Structure 1
Amino acid sequence: MLFSSRGAIAPRDRAAAVRGHGGRSVATQLGLAAATGVIALVVAWFALGLTFDVMAMRWASGATGDQMLHYIVSAAAVDHSLLTPNPRLGFPEYQNLFFAPMYDFASALVLAAGSLLIQDPVVLLNAYQLLGFFMTGFAGFLMFRALRLRNITAVVFGTVFALAPFHFERVALGHAFVANYWGVAVLVVLVLIAGGQRTDPIAAWADAAPTRAGRITRRLVPILVMTLALSLTNSYYFVFAAIILGCVIAVRAIVCLICRDGLRGLLWPVVTLGSLVVFVAIQLAVLSLNFGDRYQKYFSERSPIESEQHSGKITTLLLPWPGSGIPGVGDRVRAYAAQTTVSPYAEPTGMSALAIAGLVLLVVWTLARLVVPLGERRPQALADQRLSVLALSFWVGLLFYAVGGLGFLFAALVTSEIRAWVRMSIVLATFGLAVLAILIETAFRRHLSLWIALGLVVIVAFVDQIAGVGEEVDLQPTADAELRSLISSADVALDPECGLAQLPVKSFPESGPIGGLGDYDLALPYVVGGDQSTLRWSYGAVSGTRAGDFWSEAQSPALFADAVDASDACGVYIDRRAYADDSEWLPFVEAAYGEDWTFLGSSTGAQVIVIPR
């Protein structure tokens, strides 16, 4: 029987659970979680080759321009609010990032809090990305403790979880908010709750309350806190959680009906899923409001077939990441990536050797459960309910992760906004790490043998996950010194809150690169100006809103001149990287100012500002 829904935890199991969660004080556990996060942060600092100078520079890595997008979000957090219209972008109107959800609310809160201490948006986002290693390490420790593993095991595997290749690859891709995947740790804990009494990490503590009201409170409050937190993190993670939780509960319900056990044991799992769905529904309801400005939904152009293009493959799920320091692995992985033609748009999976080993053991464990007769006494590992729920969750996740899997059906029937199903790889990798940690503790019960096994885990993790980071992850730090000087000069020469029209005219967001101009690079002057500048910029009003319509038609010199005149812009900013030569942008400036204009500052830079004489 896959799950047991009848009866309470046996006395010996209950005692073990209580010792696992109450043997040390809450302060001690939080202290160890913080220590795990600090270890992960320090290792990441050195692995990425960070210095204080690099932290002060803009990281230009990432082919899609998402890195730049996140700097825009960071700048908005510094000089404005992420939840209200920002008048410094979208001149003469505004930018409202609320209408183009480029961040999760948890990250918005962290950035808002960080802006109280850090006023440079570049430094703020870089600090946020580094803090992500601490946050995932902190959550990872608590997740492995919820699996009823020893403190030392939770510290080691919590650190390995935070330093997953997935993390480093997302930092390199510029996916700052996806990289902060602490929500995956919460997902695993909720899956354990959905697994039933024997896997529920809070069951023993809740049942120990002296009153019925106390037992209900101890059950309900942690569930509400965790589901609320998960609903505020990146949308991929709460969608993955809802899918996996729903399938685990559905399978348990079928088992209960077949075995005539009754459905009472599903009460708290259903409450868990229900609370997550309610919190997500509230968030989506708020995001759907248009406040009289939005008339077209963002992402409405995405098609369901993109969900298949951005799904993952079994092959890449079982291949370590290209930065692995294991001899010969990196070259073979890169050779495969260069030659394969299946799902060429998918992001890398960021798998580690330890996670792969855990997934292989999980598959072997599943097959062993199928061939061992039900009536015979099973080895302890095969009877472990934690492995049962992790196995079920893994197979569900795999069905949505894989190319040609259920991700396309979800996109076609529910929503196509969730398209990068390959990101399920970090969830599957976490299941693999959890299985490996459980089997290690099962196999090595004595302190000395466990310490030796964990020592080997640390060595493998360092070679595979850390040693090649410096070579594989190029952050491309840039000081933007020339542009910073130009913006400083403009702030001195122009009136406060002066509005500048920008060329080329470009919509926001995701309108694609133009020549050598990246997708979001027209916001560079806003970002490098930080809270020291008062200038306003025409780029950034969200497409599909009335504010975004002002410049949308200004694609010819004459229409651009009309828009400049109507907006009372005090100058024109040109990013030359978008043009083959100056003859492509000069007609726009001449239409606006004739020949009566001059350069502000240098006339030879990649970015220039022209103003009327």
Structure 2
Amino acid sequence: MSRGSSQRPWWRHADVVGGVVASVLATVVGVVSLRAWEWRPGVPPSLVGDSPVVLTQIDEILVHGWFWESAFVGFPWGQNASFFPELNVIHVLGVKALGLLGGDAATTGSAYFLLGYPLVALTTYLLARSERLRRPASVVVAVLFAAAPYHAERFEHLWLASYWTLPLGVWVALGVARGRSPLAPGQPRGRRFVLTLLALTLVGLSGAYYAGFTLILLAVALVLRPGSTGRARSLRGGLISMVWLAAVTALPLVAAKIGMAGTSSTGPRPATRTALESERYAGRLIDLLLPWEGHRVEPLAALTQAYRDAGRPVTETLALGIVGVVGATALVLVGLRSLTSGNRAPERLRLWTAMWVATAAFYTVGGLGSVVALFATPQLRAWSRLSLVLLLLGLLAVGHWLSRPRGRRMAVALAALTLVVGVLDQTNPSRAPRYDDIATQLDGIRDYTGSLAAATSTGCGVLQLPVMRFPEGYLPQGYEANAQLVQHLTDRRLAWSHGGMSGTRAGDWTVGIELSDPSALVAGLRAAGFCAVEVDGAGVDPGSPAVTALTSRLGAPVARTPDGRLQAWVLPDDARGTAADRERLLSPVVVGLVAGAITVDDRDVSQESGPRAGITTSNLSGETVRGVTVTMNVTALGAAARDVVVRRGDEVLARVTAVADRPTPLELVVDAPVGYQRLTVTVDGDPQRNAADRSVSARFENLRVRASTAARVVSTHDQARTRAVFP
């Protein structure tokens, strides 16, 4: 066999070497950014935000193979996560593969988090080479994209932080824009055809956001198609790519639909988005240009923080970094020059520019993302996450100019300088996880749950206070939304009440617990399989009247964390309830108000609304509850008087004229059918803007309910008044 370059082994091919170099450098950057040498097995990079949710999912994947059902959270019904479907099938498979090597959820999750760096670098390197960038430039683009400014802090969004599939979607979209889609009818079926189907499949199974963003890029490619032959065949190839991607993305949704079958709805599905959220979670161009808020140069970080403190809050890290900003600016200038002077830039620059501008139009506040939310679907609310696409295109532009020097030494020197500047700008090891602090926190909770398990019986449930809806809902001020899931991660001998899906019986029954009658509550809990009550002092005052009334019935706590934040009481053996007590506990009728956030003060519980609101009934029992009397007070906002009308369909159930200077009583009698019901409330006249810059028309206060039968009916306002239940 000839030993010429054409016959060299595949592992010695220059692009194989380049991909390995990019992956190794990205891994080094990840290790340094995360200070991985300080990590030890069993310690996750984070316990805040959505990190406990991610760790719970990984735990279920390792123990039961998937994460859509769990009996250890959402007790007694368990959690059916089909109602909040994650479409990250490829990442779940990756975690399962790592789990075969051993290790718990924290260890496996940490490993997959770090693995994201070389995976992103590898797919980005392949994209850069497919765009004809030189190898040193491709390495720079790959490593800097893997080291996106937010990457090291995104364990709480582990699936989003594993954005290695995004370059694959961009690769397919660029091919469609050039009219080279191998999926077009009549095109030869070869390696590129297989790779395109594989890329689209991986993207479609990597989560809703990256699949949705790739669909948008494909649509943009079909509309713009600069450099395309313009033939109808290439158009059909792009459409087939979109159909394939949409079909693959729909598979997990179909599985979730099957998983929801047989579970009745007692409220709106969790995480149902609105068009307004696309405005709230869109990005601003200035956020791309400002330094990263975690920048290692303190004055630069302070500049960004000062701007954000004075303006609209931002929920994502959006900075492109110096190199990304240079590339993005160059692309915009290339586009402007082409428009004003007629000078034609290289084809790839024109194509990247068109893609960048179109992506920015979806990314920005009030942009095309809002159009999609209003006329198609509001579920992709965080359009700011398109900053990753903008960063990738900007880095490709920098790679273009790094590929221009003819001399190898000059090309390597410029690439190395750019890489060093970019890495220093985009990373800050001083912001790495505080592993010792996380380990200490976990050890304290582990000792606490171990003591509680020893004082109870295996498999019994723990009622957790405060009560909050999962996965999203109102929270105590400054409280971590998912903190109550951490206990489950430290001891599997007990089951926990938090984690049942909102909108189902598993999650909604806790909203109806009545702390005002401790004896009845304890009897019902015992009958339902509970053995303990936990109070989290970070979310509810253990000395509040509602909590004290319950805990004084239970005696002294049997377990507490070293910081005293978590305390637990065992339910007495002499309080065993009956089947009727269990049914009464788990089958309330909860009446609430769909309006703004609930506000609780010393006298009143209130919510403000715009021109439209709603009164809801969530009936968890097995039969219709008739004759529920609903009363509240209404005050007009922004006008001397406003007509307030409550309707069920076209039927008017109640009508009052609310005035501005005093609360006006509103009363109606409704039937609560099994499951969920929403009555429409309309307030006439133009709304006004309140201090939070929201449109408001009326204030509703002190929602009260009573039943004409023996059914247990509770009001969300009365529950909120306890400051231990947050409906």
Q: Which residue of 2 is the match for residue 252 of structure 1? A: 225
CA distance in 2, matches of 1:182, 1:547: 35
> Secondary structure of the residue that 1:245 maps to in structure 2?
helix
Greater RCO between the two (CA within 8 Å, min separation 6)?
1
Distance 1:68 1:561, change over 3 A: same
After superposition, the Cα gap between the structure-2 partners of 1:120 and 1:360, relative to the gap in structure 1 and judged at 3 Å, is same
Q: Does 1:298 align with 2:259?
A: no
Aligned to 2:512, which of 543, 546, 553?
553
Q: Which residue of 1 aligns with 2:195?
A: 222
1:444-475 deviation per Cα after TM superposition (whole angstroms, max 9, x unaligned): 12212211210221221133123x34248777
Structure with greater helix share of residues: 1
Give the SS at the match of 1:610. Answer: strand
Deviation at 1:420, TM superposition (A): 1.1
* d(CA) in 1 for partners of 2:206, 2:122: 15
**Structure with a larger share of its residues in strand:** 2
Contact map agreement 2:226 2:351 (CA 8 A) in 1: no
Alpha carbons of structure 1 residues 22 and 433: separation in structure 2 relative to 1, 3 Å: farther
Kept in 1: contact 2:178–2:226 (CA 8 A): no
- Which amino acid is 1:278 matched to? A
Alignment of 1:308-347 (within 5 A): 308-325=279-296, 328-339=299-310, 341=311, 343-347=312-316
Which residue identity does 2:37 align to in structure 1?
A: T
Choose the corresponding residue for 2:165, options 164, 183, 205: 183
Whether the aligned pair in 1 keeps the contact of 2:124 and 2:142 (CA below 8 Å) is yes
User: What residue in structure 2 maps to residue 576 of structure 1?
Assistant: 537
Aligned to 1:3: none
1:207-606 correspondence runs (5 A): 215-252=188-225, 262-289=231-258, 290-293=260-263, 295=265, 298-299=269-270, 301-325=272-296, 328-339=299-310, 341=311, 343-373=312-342, 382=345, 384-441=346-403, 443-466=404-427, 468-471=428-431, 477-479=438-440, 480-515=442-477, 517-529=479-491, 533-558=492-517, 560-583=521-544, 584-590=546-552, 594-595=553-554, 597-602=555-560, 605-606=564-565
Deviations 1:321-348 (A, max 9, x none): 1333468533322332222x2x324423
Q: Note if 1:25 corresponds to 2:23.
A: no
Q: Is 1:106 paired with 2:90?
A: yes
Contact 1:133/1:162 (8 A) holds in 2: yes
Q: TM-score, with normalisation over the residues of structure 2? A: 0.71
Name the SS of the counterpart of 1:348 in structure 2: coil
Residue 502 of structure 1: SS of its match in structure 2? strand
**Does structure 2 retain, via aligned residues, the 8 Å contact 1:105–1:232?**
yes
| Same amino acid, percent of matched pairs | 25
Cα distance, 1:55 vs structure 2: 5.6
Are 2:58 and 2:67, in contact at CA under 8 Å, matched by a contact in 1? no
* Native 8 Å contact 1:160 1:461 kept in 2: yes
- Structure 1 segments unaligned to the other structure (5+ residues): 1-19
Is 2:57 the counterpart of 1:86?
no
| Preserved contact between residue 278 and residue 369 of structure 2 (Cα < 8 Å) | yes
Q: Determine the C-alpha separation between the residues in 1 that align with 2:524 and 2:62.
A: 29
**In 1, Cα distance between the equivalents of 2:6 and 2:347?**
18
The equivalent position to 2:55 in structure 1, one of 38, 62, 71, is 71
Q: CA deviation at 1:599?
A: 2.9
Gaps of 5+ in 2: 574-727
8 Å CA contact 1:60–1:478 kept in 2: the answer is no
Instruction: Give the alignment's Cα RMSD to 1 decimal.
Output: 3.1
Task: Say if 1:338 and 1:228 are closer, same or farther in 2 by CA, change over 3 A.
Answer: same
Q: Secondary structure at the match of 1:578?
A: coil
Matches of 1:600 and 1:117, distance apart in 2:
37
- Residues 469-505 of structure 1 show CA distances to partners (whole Å, capped at 9, x for unaligned) of 4248777634322210122233344332222222223
Query: What is the Cα deviation at residue 239 of structure 1?
Result: 0.8
Cα 1:97–1:463 shift into 2, 3 Å: same
How far off is 1:113 after superposition?
Answer: 2.4
Total equivalences in the alignment = 559
Correspondence 1:103-182 to 2 at 5 A: 104-171=88-155, 174-182=156-164
Deviation at 1:267, TM superposition (A): 3.7
Shift of 1:575: 1.9
CA contact (8 A) 1:103 1:177 kept: no
In 2, distance between residues paired with 1:24 and 1:371?
Answer: 50
CA contact (8 A) 1:169 1:350 kept: no
Contact 2:178 2:227 in 1 (8 A): no
Paired amino acid for 1:75: D
CA distance in 2, matches of 1:485, 1:316: 43
SS at match of 2:557: strand
Partner AA of 2:202 in structure 1: A
Structure 1 residues 350 and 176: CA distance shift in structure 2, 3 A: farther
Amino acid at match of 2:28: V
Equivalent AA in structure 1 for residue 425 of structure 2 = D
**Aligned CA distance change for structure 1 residues 563 and 394 (closer, same or farther; 3 Å):** farther
Give yes or no for contact 1:499–1:569 (8 Å, CA) kept in 2. yes
| Matched residue SS, 1:165 | coil
- TM-score, normalised via structure 1 length: 0.83
1:193, 1:30 → 2: CA distance? 22
SS at 1:107 equivalent: helix
**1:129 to 1:599, Cα distance in 2 relative to 1, 3 A:** same
Distance 2:256 2:389 in 1: 26
Cα distance change, pair 344–395 in 1 and its aligned pair in 2 (3 A): same
Give, in whole Å, the separation in 1 of the partners of 2:309 and 2:452.
Answer: 46
Kindly provide the amino acid, as one letter, of the partner of residue 192 in structure 1.
L
2:463–2:497 Cα contact (<8 Å) kept: yes
How far residue 86 of structure 1 moved from its aligned partner, in angstroms, is: 1.0
The change in CA–CA distance for 1:184 and 1:152 in structure 2 (over 3 A counts) is: same
For the Cα contact (< 8 Å) 2:278–2:382, is it kept in 1?
yes
Residue 49 (str. 1) matches residue 11 (str. 2) = no
Q: Residue in 1 aligned with 2:665?
A: none
| Matched-pair contact (CA < 8 Å) for 1:517–1:575 | no
1:534 partner SS: coil
Matched-pair contact (CA < 8 Å) for 1:91–1:538:
yes
SS at match of 1:293: coil
Structure 2 contact 60–67 (Cα < 8 Å) conserved: no
Contact 2:137 2:402 in 1 (8 A): no
Q: In structure 2, how many angstroms separate the alpha carbons of the residues matched to 1:57 and 1:219? A: 42
- Aligned residue type for 1:537: W
